């Protein structure tokens, strides 16, 4: 099986057949045809942590030097 489970309600098509409206987006899978798993949310965590880590720290020395040069 893949990373996502096939939606049992719409059978993977992402849409439901209704007599009134013809076709309607499957709310179980939000029209994707597959159920989103918690693994997907967990997979998004590492990049966010990496971005936090890679954020450069402000250097107080350069900042104070900029202040003294910009002061009157």
Give CA–CA dist 22/30, Å, rounded: 17
Residue 9 in the binding site for Zn ion (CB under 5 A): yes
Q: How far is the CB of 20 from Zn ion (least distance, A)?
A: 18
Contact 18, 3 (CB under 8 A): no
Q: What are phi and psi of 2, to 5 degrees?
A: -85, -160
- Closer residue to Zn ion, CB minimum distance, 28 or 36: 28
Q: How far is the CB of 36 from Zn ion (least distance, A)?
A: 11
- Closer residue to Zn ion, CB minimum distance, 30 or 43: 30
């Amino acid at each position: 099986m893949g990373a996502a489970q096939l939606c049992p309600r719409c059978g993977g098509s992402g849409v439901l057949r209704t007599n009134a409206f013809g076709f309607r987006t499957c709310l179980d899978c939000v029209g994707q045809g597959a159920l989103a798993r918690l693994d997907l949310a967990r997979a998004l965590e590492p990049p966010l942590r990496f971005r936090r880590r890679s954020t450069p720290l402000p250097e107080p020395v350069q900042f104070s030097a900029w202040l003294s040069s910009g002061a009157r």
